[in-house]
């Protein structure tokens, strides 16, 4: 009877929380000295909102992304360590992926590097979504409405969050550098070790923590490296900066972050089960984690994301210092909008007006539990959304001028109610998108995503 060969420790160097956030070269070199088996980074998120997916633009700077990639790719190619990047360009649709690939090819030319480049596309065409919808293979996530064919037709840049399968395929085809579209964050780190036989639950959980690099250490930083060491029955987290260390609390806290359920973390094709998970301080700023399990789902579900254009935005930023106005701010803003609507009358401009009042409830809005305003000053962001930029600009100009000179009860000075920090006071922000697709789609085959290999 053959005895199962013991797996050696598998070391993963996570460089930064999001590609382009940067990392100290000293931490990176310290990570390289540990002889990692994989260099990886997550490059995106839905956190910055729907605009970037809709516009096809990156929320990270090109020069910053190029700097991070240059260090990673040069080190990986020279040392024969695979380099894996997921959710390229910030949102992972084709325009974002092409943007990142252009940087990679530029680095290869400038540095005279020769390597096999693996590419994974996350885009989903509308016909596929409509077909799945008709077959009842799409369901909404919590608090999301049911998807309709009309919404699918209105949506732009639809992507699916890929799991480990496209990465494993590209690695098996000899890819030395992989740039992928929209990805499940842990998959970037978990794919290679899973393909080598390491436990999927531990690999995914380690990936969940490493996707934000040193944010999970204390003090946390999104611009620093971290090392994960995957073993057969556990994994170890290690900081690569003398300023930081991992603690059981910091590792556990990051495990919980962004999750509605602290014990079951769903992803493509299954979930990470943490009900028997433990975090142990093993000294020298390191933490050992045990007990993480992966529970496959049947059928195989992936998350799909898409956005639609809802108009154009303009904003104006102003300050308020009058205690009388601050005390009556809610009724004043309500009266100002009423006055604006009255002036417009039956005008075709039916755009939306929003007031974001910082110092009162600008962050949480109606959910703010502190109802009494104690601030001596307020910051007000006036926002308008119209069908066109001209409509949004026009509505903002009128709203701003009405608020500036509104005569509220008890007002003493007539010079103006607002202090503007900038001139011009009004800023055209351009297109406004909203998430229109944030649903789960059933797959018959996890190898759904298109991949290709390019020799550089």
CA angle, 245 as apex, 241 and 247 as ends, to 5°?
A: 160
Does 245 lie in the same domain as 106? yes
Residue 245 lies in a domain: yes
Residue 314 lies in a domain: no
Does 302 lie in the same domain as 330? no
The pLDDT assigned to 346 comes to 76
Residue 433 lies in a domain: no
* Tens-place pLDDT, residues 425-442: 999 999 999 999 999 999
* Tens-place pLDDT, residues 295-307: 999 999 999 999 9
Does 275 lie in the same domain as 332? no
Does 352 lie in the same domain as 295? no
The pLDDT assigned to 439 comes to 98
The number of folded domains in the chain is 2
Does 379 lie in the same domain as 282? no
Tell me how far apart the alpha carbons of residues 417 and 405 are, in angstroms, rounded to a whole number. Answer: 6
The pLDDT assigned to 348 comes to 74
Does 106 lie in the same domain as 40? yes
Does 389 lie in the same domain as 451? no
Does 356 lie in the same domain as 296? no
DSSP per position, 38-102: EEEEE---STT-THHHHHT--SS-HHHHHHHHHHHHHHHHHHT--EEEESGGGT-SHHHHHHHHH
The pLDDT assigned to 3 comes to 61
Residue 430 lies in a domain: no
Global pTM value: 0.94
Q: Does residue 1 have a pLDDT over 70?
A: no
Does 222 lie in the same domain as 365? no
The pLDDT assigned to 5 comes to 80
User: 24 lies in which domain range?
Assistant: 10-306+438-455
The pLDDT assigned to 2 comes to 57
Does 212 lie in the same domain as 357? no
Does 110 lie in the same domain as 168? yes
Residue 427 lies in a domain: no
Does 44 lie in the same domain as 116? yes
């Amino acid at each position: 009877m053959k005895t199962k060969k013991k797996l050696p420790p598998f070391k993963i160097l996570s460089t930064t929380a999001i590609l382009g956030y940067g990392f100290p070269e000293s931490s990176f070199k310290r990570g390289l000295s540990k002889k990692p088996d994989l260099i990886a980074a997550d490059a995106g998120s839905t956190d910055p909102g729907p605009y970037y997916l809709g516009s096809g633009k990156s929320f990270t700077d090109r020069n910053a992304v190029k700097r991070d990639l240059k260090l990673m790719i040069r080190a990986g190619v020279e040392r024969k360590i695979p380099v894996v990047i997921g959710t390229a360009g910030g949102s992972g649709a084709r325009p974002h992926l092409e943007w990142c690939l252009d940087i990679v090819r530029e680095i290869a030319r400038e540095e005279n590097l020769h390597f096999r480049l693996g590419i994974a596309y996350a885009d989903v065409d509308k016909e596929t979504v409509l077909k799945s919808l008709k077959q009842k293979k799409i369901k909404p996530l919590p608090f999301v409405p049911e998807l309709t064919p009309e919404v699918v037709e209105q949506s732009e840049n639809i992507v699916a969050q890929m799991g480990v399968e496209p990465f494993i395929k590209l690695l098996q085809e000899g890819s030395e550098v992989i740039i992928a579209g929209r990805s499940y964050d842990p998959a970037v780190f978990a794919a290679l070790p899973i393909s080598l036989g390491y436990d999927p639950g531990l690999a995914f959980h380690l990936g969940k923590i490493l996707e934000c690099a040193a944010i999970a250490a204390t003090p946390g930083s999104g611009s620093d490296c971290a090392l994960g060491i995957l073993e057969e029955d556990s994994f170890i987290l290690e900081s690569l900066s003398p300023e930081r260390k991992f603690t059981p609390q910091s590792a556990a806290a990051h495990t919980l972050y962004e999750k509605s359920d602290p014990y079951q973390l769903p992803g493509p094709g299954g979930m990470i089960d943490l009900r028997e998970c433990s975090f142990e301080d093993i000294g020298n700023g390191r933490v050992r984690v045990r007990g993480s399990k992966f529970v496959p789902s049947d059928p195989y579900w992936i998350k799909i994301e898409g956005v639609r254009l809802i108009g154009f935005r303009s904003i104006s930023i102003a300050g308020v210092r009058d205690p009388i106005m601050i005390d009556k701010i809610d009724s004043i803003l309500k009266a100002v909008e009423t006055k604006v609507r009255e002036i417009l009358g039956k005008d075709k401009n039916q755009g939306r007006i929003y007031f974001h009042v910082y110092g009162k409830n600008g962050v949480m809005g109606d959910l703010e539990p502190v109802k009494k305003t104690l601030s001596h000053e307020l910051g007000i962001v006036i926002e308008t959304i119209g069908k066109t930029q001209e409509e949004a600009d026009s509505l903002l100009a009128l709203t701003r001028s009405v608020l500036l000179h509104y005569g509220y009860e008890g007002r003493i000075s007539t010079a103006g109610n607002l202090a503007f920090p900038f001139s011009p006071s009004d800023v055209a922000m351009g297109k406004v998108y909203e998430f229109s697709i944030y649903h789960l789609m059933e797959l018959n085959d996890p190898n759904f995503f298109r991949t290709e290999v390019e020799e550089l």
